[in-house]
Structure 1
Amino acid sequence: MRFIQTFQLYDFLDTLVSLLTAFVLGTVIGAERQYRQRSAGLRTNVLVAVGAAAFVDLANRLTGSEGSVRVIAYVVSGIGFLGAGTIMKEGMNVRGLNTAATLWASAAVGCCAGADMVAQAALLTLFVLGGNTLLRPLVNAIDRIPINEKSSEALYDVLVTVDGGAVAPVREFLLEKLEAANYPVRDTSVVHRSEEEAEITATLVSLSIEPDELDAVVASLTGLPGVRHVTWNVRALE
């Protein structure tokens, strides 16, 4: 058997250390994800780290450091496809970006372990855990800060609910008012809720706004015939 001829105990132990390192560090990262009930939890992060380590270690055994570099490049792109599967869009919200980024980082930990850079793999694991845990209070604090409409870069929607037969004149009046207020319109859409009711949405070009000016536009539309409800809101750029 060729295995008997090619087996080297030192190389085998070196591979064992690489895979064991990837397994332990992937477990540490995955445990935090599993605790928070993320879609890519303990087993996924472990498999990503161990798989990346195995590919890099195999390339290193066969072709040396040059082969490892090429394999690492393929691992980076391959994990990108895997991470894309965890990203979901629900209406205006996008979920799974942090999970995808964690998978990418787990692959980096595995690559370090496969390249026999155990200390670097452990250090990277600490940074990944810090990003997912220590920064959480800061994220929550920033999210609680009210949006300043004058300084924020976001998308602004003016929403008008009208009678089905009043769509055209109300839409034209809305565009005229926004143009007069120097707020260019990025897009308009009309959704017919029923034969008797429709909703007009005017999305403004992203720029800082004066809330009082949009409030004035809303007030001017309130008394128009066929207008049932008018409001405006702000949402983050995608």
Structure 2
Amino acid sequence: MLSDWEMILRLLVASAFGSAIGFERERLLWAAGLRTHMLVCVGSCLIIIVSAYGFNDVIGKNIVLDPSRIAAQVVSGVGFLGAGTILFRGEAVKGLTTAASLWAVAAIGLAVGSGLFVAALAGTVIVLIVLAGIKPLEERYRRRNQTRSLSLLTRRGVFSLDVLKQVAGPFSHRVQQFVMQQSGTEDIDEVEITFARVPEAGLQDIIRKLKALPSVTSADTPELS
């Protein structure tokens, strides 16, 4: 049986580990932030402590308890909480990473409650590296492989977002950014367009249709920096 101080220590360690991960989510203003991650980690820690040590008084010759059953329920049950952080915006799905971090925090809490401090610490560090360290690399990859840019020169006052959507056809809903400004040349507008998740063949078809418009004087795809 654990001492009272050992139980308190495990709960405090779980809250510290959960807050470290929750702070990273809080920094990005996600719904599941600092307090949510702390509560999940402390709660799962307390649940495994109760599961492992809370029934010692009733365990006897004819009664056998399996603490791992409670751990399995935590792993599946926290999925309901994670589902509440997932948002659907058109074709985009937001919040999957936060839902996964809640699931990972529950596992960390279970590890701390079981006395596996080294495993819990290693898990916390790895989760933080994944959330904060790998994100810039992931965003750079997405910019290079999932975002397509176009630069146009058009006659002033003729080209518009509606014209672009007509040309883009099935990819019209994937226009991520449309910026038009006057160039140094009289009667010429510079247009910068960004598409999200448009295949190369689709992009080339859009360029071909844009060049066929009388109002477009040039269309190209600048390389992303």
Q: TM class by shorter-chain length?
A: 0.5 to 0.7
Equivalents in 2 of 1:85, 1:134: separation in Å? 25
Partner SS for 1:67: coil
Q: Find the aligned partners of 2:105 and 2:147 in 1 and give their Cα distance.
A: 37
State the distance in 2 between where 1:210 and 1:96 align: 29
Residue of structure 1 aligned with 2:45, choices 24, 49, 53: 53
Structure 1 residues 31, 215: closer, same or farther in 2, change over 3 A? Answer: closer
Percent identity between matched residues is 33
For the residue of structure 1 that corresponds to 2:88, the secondary structure is strand
Inter-CA distance 30–119: structure 2 relative to 1 (3 Å threshold): same
Q: How many residues are paired up?
A: 163
SS of match in other structure, 2:20: helix
1:34 and 1:73 map into 2 onto residues whose CA distance is 28
CA distance in 1, matches of 2:203, 2:27: 42
Tell whether the 8 Å contact from 1:68 to 1:115 is kept in structure 2 after alignment.
Answer: no
Secondary structure in 2 matching 1:70: helix
The one-letter code of the counterpart of 1:105 is A
CA shift, 1:143, in A, is 1.4
The AA in structure 1 aligned to 2:128 is L
TM-score (norm 2): 0.61
Distance 1:22 1:29 in 2: 11
The SS at the match of 2:67 is: helix
CA distance in 1, matches of 2:98, 2:141: 20
Distance in 1 between residues matched to 2:67 and 2:5, nearest whole Å: 19
| Contact in 2 for aligned 1:49/1:106 (Cα 8 Å) | yes
Does residue 1:95 correspond to 2:87, yes or no?
no
Query: Which ranges of structure 2 fall in alignment gaps of 5 or more residues?
Result: 149-164, 170-198, 214-225
Amino acid at match of 1:123: A
Q: Relative to 1, partners in 2 of residues 1:99 and 1:211: Cα closer, same or farther, differing over 3 Å?
A: closer
**Alignment partner of 1:118 is 2:110:** no
- What are the ranges of 5 or more consecutive residues in structure 1 without an aligned counterpart? 1-7, 150-158, 162-173, 175-206, 223-238
> Residue 38 of structure 1 aligns to a residue in which SS?
coil
1:177 is aligned to none
Corresponding position: 1:23 with 2:22: no
Q: Please state how far the C-alpha of 1:88 moved relative to its aligned partner.
A: 0.7
Offset from partner CA, 1:60-80 (integer Å, 9 cap, x none): 002699632111110011110
Alignment partner, residue 104 of structure 2? 105
Match of 1:12 in 2: 4
1:139 Cα shift?
0.9
Rounded Cα–Cα distance in structure 1 between residues aligned with 2:135 and 2:48: 32
The Cα of 1:38 is off from its aligned counterpart by 1.4
The alpha carbon displacement at 1:86 in A equals: 0.6
Report the alpha carbon displacement of residue 55 of structure 1 after superposing the two structures with TM.
0.5
**TM-score (norm: length of structure 1):** 0.58
Q: Distance in 2 between matches of 1:148 and 1:38?
A: 24
Deviation at 1:148, TM superposition (A): 9.4
In structure 2, relative to structure 1, the CA distance for the partners of 1:133 and 1:211 (3 Å cut) is closer
1:77–1:160 Cα change, 3 Å:
same
Deviation at 1:209, TM superposition (A): 4.9
Cα displacement string for residues 89-120 of structure 1 (whole angstroms, at most 9, x for unaligned residues): 01111111111111111111100011111111
